[in-house]
Amino acid sequence: MRKNKATQIMSIVLMLSFVAIFLILSGRFLYIQTTGEVAGVSLQEWADKTRTNQYSLPAERGRILDRNEMSLVQDRPTYKVYAIVDETHTGINKEPLYVQDARQTAEELAPLLEMEPSDVLETIDKGKSEGRFQVEFGSDGKNLTQDIKEQIEELELPGINFEKDIQRYYPNGMFASHVLGLVDKLDGEQVGLTGVEQMMNDVLAGESGHISYKRDKYNAKLLQPEEIVKEAKDGNDVYLTIDQKIQTLLEDAMSEVNEQYEPERITAAVMDPKTGEVLAMSSRPSYDPNQLGTVENWYNDVISTPFEPGSTMKIFTLAAAIEEGEYNPTEYFQSGKYQISEGAAIHDWDNKGWGSITFREGIQRSSNVAAALLAYDKVGPEKFYEYLQAFEFDQPTGIDLPGEDIGKIMYNYKSEKITTSYGQGTTVTPIQQMKALTAVANNGEMLQPYVIKAIKDPNTDQVVEEKSPNVVGNPISAETAKKVRDELGTVVSSENGTGRNYKLDDYSVAGKTGTAQIPDRENPQPYMTGHGNYEYSFLGMAPKDDPQLMMYVSVKRPELSVHEVGSEPVSFIFKNVMGNSLHYLNINPDMEAQQTINTYEMPEILDKSVTDVKTELEDKGLRVTVIGNGDQLQGANVKAGEELLPNERIFLLTANPVMPDLSGWSVRDVLKFSETIDLDISVHGSGYAVSQSISQGKNIQKQDKLTVEFTSPNAELEEEDPPEQEME
């Protein structure tokens, strides 16, 4: 009886347990059916997400162009190749969508990726053994051009697919790098790190879109896909004040000096003094923004590196003295030494001076004593400080580039108030000096420098924003500005002048040299000593009476031979850039003894003899390449009437164009050539061309695909004859 009773109890317990479990499960199913949720997750949302494909539609980053609408920066598509190795991945009709013959795939794919077949095969086999869905091929499988992608597609290799990416491309390589800046990818988006890329990142970036649709298990779109598309909005284009031709002149001159003198630093800029527009700006060391990992100097030294300017500061000491009526050019003073206090004195740069000389000769010879007398004894330290503030040496210029720094006016002690007059102790940036000089060049009106000219919508070509000149002060009168220019003109034209190496053949120049001492942080003495251990500079404008351009150049610690002087590398840059730029801008020469103008106007060439036009252009110092074997010309890469600079490459197009040998050509020249023929070009690297996908002599036509490899040059420049001894 007890056994039966126990059995009955156990049966009841089990029955009740099953009933409880049933009720719980039924309740749970009822709850899920009613709410459509499991563990707080909506089954409908989960199902929608599982059945929905969603892709982002990246916006194209806006271009950066120069003042003449030449593209300096743009996006270009690149591709990443990957291989599907999961053998369960098939299409709707069960066709295989994975790598079937790994060895064949490796042998055919490897040459196009510049890999060894064994490495490709190892990557595929390893992915299969690890049960992975797909494999990639490292850096060799990334950043592929459209041309390489199409060559791989022509192989029709099962399982080989591509992922499109957008890469920022700088066609001119190391060209205005610190102005343009560069980008990097953060969370898949291009973000500006420096320069205009950073300053205008929000304008250039645009807004990404997306697309989503319902799919089946084979990844095919359903008949009712519920497709949602949000179009991407491309970024706006940014137009700069930079002029590509003037910037090219500057880059080439700086590169030549950099190779020959191996200085620690070079800094230069060209401005329009009537508007404040920066036409060219560059620094060395520089970098190729296409190669993010090679950047050594991130700073734009024109705006970010304060330093003791040296004698270029005497321009503003002179301006203050003239404005106050305290400058008499024919008044005499005793050069050589200025006594600050008992036991403390300053000396002229040669220590001895030149005896009793006029203040005009003092300015010409860059006398420190003359500057001290004008600033401290005549103008007075308090009033002189007001002029330093009026020229805004204590403020940023507000230039539209990131990373601007300002120097510091050292003006606490008598010695500092005196040394500031000739550019020692007090620090400024090159752009601060150029801003101040606009008041001298532009009849007293001081203009804010800027590099961004306009913003345009690329879809409508409508101007979104446009800048105009901004007068930010009037530190001196127009009469004073003219007198300062006249005095600075004698610094260049006089036999006593420290700036006589800066004379131009066709234009009068007004300016001031500088030889700044460099603080020595590794030794007890405050400044470096020894031949070449200075920062040599020149700040000038031309033509003198009505300046159209102004320019700053500095070269720090060049490697000079015993017979060379610091003005040699600086004047080489100034004269090459300033002289050629004035001719390029069609500024009328103002010197009586005019030389042959260095620019040349492109003639009408259609239907003319190839030989005649080629000879005419080469006689003007131009590099001419004839494309084709016809007798009559059909076109060129420049229009009739366009101004051409010396050594510029010209392409003459005839019938039956053939591919020239591109070896040694710059990226700029190759791009100009491809535009002339309308080729589909792909560029790799920077520097000068070393290989081309279309061989020399082969017939070419529009939209042919051309791939060109470039590498950095290692050519050594020959040293020039030693210059005459420098005055300062």
Q: Which residues are catalytic?
A: 311
Question: How many CA atoms lie within 13 Å of 434's alpha carbon, on the beta-carbon side?
Answer: 34
Please give the sequence-ordered ranges of beta strands (E in DSSP) within 505-546, or none if there are none: 510-517, 534-542
CB 7 within 8 A of CB 14: no
Query: Tokens representing 156?
Result: 């029709």
Tokens 């009709």 sit on residue: 93
Residue 572, φ and ψ in degrees, nearest 5: -60, -45
Rounded distance between C-alpha atoms, residue 687 and residue 666, angstroms: 6
Q: Is 651 helix (H, G, I), strand (E, B) or coil?
A: strand
Q: Is the dihedral of CA 112, 114, 119, 124 positive or negative?
A: negative
State how far the Cα of 452 lies from the Cα of 457, in Å rounded to an integer: 15
Cα–Cα distance, 151 to 196 (Å, whole number): 36
Give long-range contacts, CB 8 A cutoff, 24+ apart: 403-412: 403/194, 403/299, 403/300, 403/303, 403/304, 404/303, 404/304, 404/429, 404/431, 405/303, 405/304, 405/305, 405/306, 405/429, 406/306, 406/432, 407/306, 407/307, 407/432, 408/306, 409/385, 411/381, 411/385
DSSP E strands, 241-400: 265-271, 278-284, 332-334, 337-341, 344-347, 356-358
Per the CB < 8 A criterion, the answer to whether 709 and 690 are in contact is yes
* CA nearest to 245, candidates 648, 543, 602: 648
Q: Are 650 and 644 in contact (CB under 8 A)?
A: yes
Tell me the residue type at 135. V
Please state whether 262 falls in left (phi above 0), alpha (psi between -120 and 50) or beta. Answer: left
Task: Reply yes or no: is the peptide bond before residue 543 cis, omega within 30 of 0.
Answer: yes
Residue 29 burial by Cβ neighbours in a 10 Å radius (0-12, 13-18, 19+): exposed
Q: CA 257 to CA 259: how far, in whole Å?
A: 5
Token output for 477: 């009168």
Backbone angles phi and psi of 455, in degrees to 5: -125, 130
Q: Is residue 528 within 8 Å of 520, Cβ to Cβ?
A: yes
Longest dimension (CA), the chain: 142
SS3 710: strand
Q: Are 103 and 118 in contact (CB under 8 A)?
A: no
Name residue, tokens 């060439």. Answer: 605
How many whole angstroms separate alpha carbon 569 and alpha carbon 501? 11
| Burial of residue 505 (number of CB atoms within 10 Å: 0-12, 13-18, 19+) | middle
| Residue 515 near residue 311 (C-beta atoms within 8 A) | yes
Contact 236, 456 (CB under 8 A): yes
Q: What is the DSSP letter of 724?
A: P
- Phi, psi angle pair for 415, to nearest 5°: -60, -40
Contact predicate 156/693, CB 8 Å = no
List, as one string, the DSSP characters of 357-403. EEHHHHHHTT-HHHHHIIIIIII-HHHHHHHHHHTTTTS----SSTT
Residue whose tokens read 């009037």: 474
Q: Please state, in angstroms and rounded to a whole number, the distance separating the CA atoms of residues 317 and 311.
A: 10
